[in-house]
Structure 1
Amino acid sequence: MSQKRLSLSQLVVKYPDTFKLRGSSQEKKIALTFDDGPDTRFTPKVLDALKANGVKATFFVLGSLASTHPDIIQRIVHEGHVIGNHSYSHANLPKLSVDKFQNQIERTDNVLQGLIGYAPRLIRPPYGAINEEQVRWMADHHYLIVNWNVDSLDWKSLNSDQVLHNIIQQTKPGSIILQHSGGADSQDLSGTVQAIGPLVSKLKAAGYTFVTVPELLHVTKSR
């Protein structure tokens, strides 16, 4: 007998303590998140822009790239940002066997533990894709799955005006905003980098405070 597969929105409702899309709507706080790094093309520029604007963000990194660019991981942490686990090789987790799924998470944890001294509590599955069995495993191992409720669509190599428009249009108190600090060689994330300054100005002017995901969700960054 096969069980009905739950959608992501159903999983969020069923596992509210383990699966988050946003923070509280009671406070005008928002979290910028950046996936798929670290790389040498865009991650340093994203970090420069965040530093110039005095904003801390959360980076969901790939274990394979973290081990290739340990210096960038250390810079992220040194500059006050938070690191989350985005799997080892950007695998589509629901398509993996139990062993391979666990290996994607644990291998990344091991790399990061060695580089930053903690295993992240925050996990963002690639493509936001995860199934119920995997959510339960995350809960049992004290992880927190963090997807998003604002998608910049910056992975489409949009220009800064488009990135800015997509974010501003959707942002509300408690929003978790998805952007990227790395990607395929064919992707141009210049728009992401260039949008950071105007984005921070506009949202601060509208009364928003920028925080890391652990601050937004009132959780620890490590397990």
Structure 2
Amino acid sequence: MIAVYCFLELAWPKRFLLPGLFGESVFCVNTPDKVLALTFDDGPDPVYTRAISQTLLDYQAQGTFFVLGKHSAKYPQIVRTLEKQGHEIANHTWHHYNLNSKFKDTISREIRETDILISQLISRDNVHFRPPFGRAGFVVTNVLKQIKKPIIFWDVDLQDWRGKSAAEMMKIFENNFHNGSIILLHDSDGVAKGGVYASRHNTVEVVEEILKAYTPQGYEFVTISELLKRGTVVKVQERCLKQFSNNKDGRE
């Protein structure tokens, strides 16, 4: 187990390779439609999740919230409210462990117990899943294959976890998104890489800036489930990047 963990840590820059080769993964969707999916990890949070969901409502947009079990158990009403507002609830494990450092039983329990809680709160089964840190090695991928859960990754990371400002995140978005993109953001407070405090006020701000700028241009901001209906799933991250390169000026 230790040897496998060390290998996966050394392979961090290529951490999306295994799920793409041996599992079912989603990085973006190939579609002519002007649709995008905003996704939010690590909530719910009584301040930031509510602020983000209200901003989405103001622009008649939907988001997908990859919630933690431990936070959902603490704030169940927020989860129920998100569902009533038309947003999608998805699984981000119970504790936010690096699953590559855990044994199979722990991995299964982290996913299963969060699924059970979500089902109890909103009466939905078989919700989408995203592993903490986007880390899914051999064991994680195998567990997910057995329960028939694809991994929902992303192709545009706005890096709010690094403590980026709203202006910096907006620039990342504008330089990288395309039709069918899945955008990674976070709605629970954290500490950015290097110990910098990663305020989610910046996340709330950039969500509003994106919606304000691109909703009038005809872009729809939809849930992951809706996005998957609108085109062909792209299972390898590099193909999302290629799609963007080929369509750099084609955001019509």
1:58 matches 2:64 = yes
Check whether the contact 2:115–2:127 (CA below 8 A) recurs between aligned residues.
Answer: no
1:14 matches 2:25 = no
Give 2:200's aligned residue.
189
Give 2:138's aligned residue.
132
Give 2:250's aligned residue.
none
Q: CA RMSD for the aligned pairs?
A: 2.2
1:38 to 40, 44, 69: 44
Instruction: Between 63-72 and 2-11, report the one with greater CA deviation.
Output: 2-11
**Take 2:53 and 2:65, find their aligned partners in 1: how far apart are those partners?**
10
Change beyond 3 A, Cα 1:126–1:25: same
Q: Which runs of 4+ in 1 moved over 6 A?
A: 2-6
1:202 to 210, 213, 217: 213
- For residue 165 of structure 1, report the CA deviation from its aligned partner: 1.5
Task: Using structure 2 for the length normalisation, give the TM-score.
Answer: 0.79
Give 1:93's aligned residue.
99
1:82 to 68, 78, 88: 88
- For residue 198 of structure 1, report the CA deviation from its aligned partner: 1.9
Give 2:180's aligned residue.
174
**Take 1:215 and 1:95, find their aligned partners in 2: how far apart are those partners?**
33
- Structure 1 counterpart of 2:70, which letter? S
Check whether the contact 1:24–1:217 (CA below 8 A) recurs between aligned residues.
Answer: no
**Take 1:158 and 1:9, find their aligned partners in 2: how far apart are those partners?**
23
2:222 to 208, 211, 221: 211
- Structure 1 counterpart of 2:202, which letter? G
Q: Deviations along 1:79-136, whole A, 9 cap, x unmatched? A: 0000110010110001001111111101111111111112343100000001123212
Structure 1 residues 94-173: aligned runs within 5 Å: 94-173=100-179
Q: Deviations along 1:46-83, whole A, 9 cap, x unmatched? A: 11111111100000000000000001001110100001
Show structure 1 runs of 5+ residues with no match.
Answer: none
Check whether the contact 2:89–2:127 (CA below 8 A) recurs between aligned residues.
Answer: no
1:71 matches 2:77 = yes
**Take 1:36 and 1:134, find their aligned partners in 2: how far apart are those partners?**
19
- Structure 1 counterpart of 2:59, which letter? N
Change beyond 3 A, Cα 1:211–1:15: farther
Check whether the contact 2:157–2:183 (CA below 8 A) recurs between aligned residues.
Answer: yes
**Take 1:44 and 1:210, find their aligned partners in 2: how far apart are those partners?**
17
- Structure 1 counterpart of 2:15, which letter? L
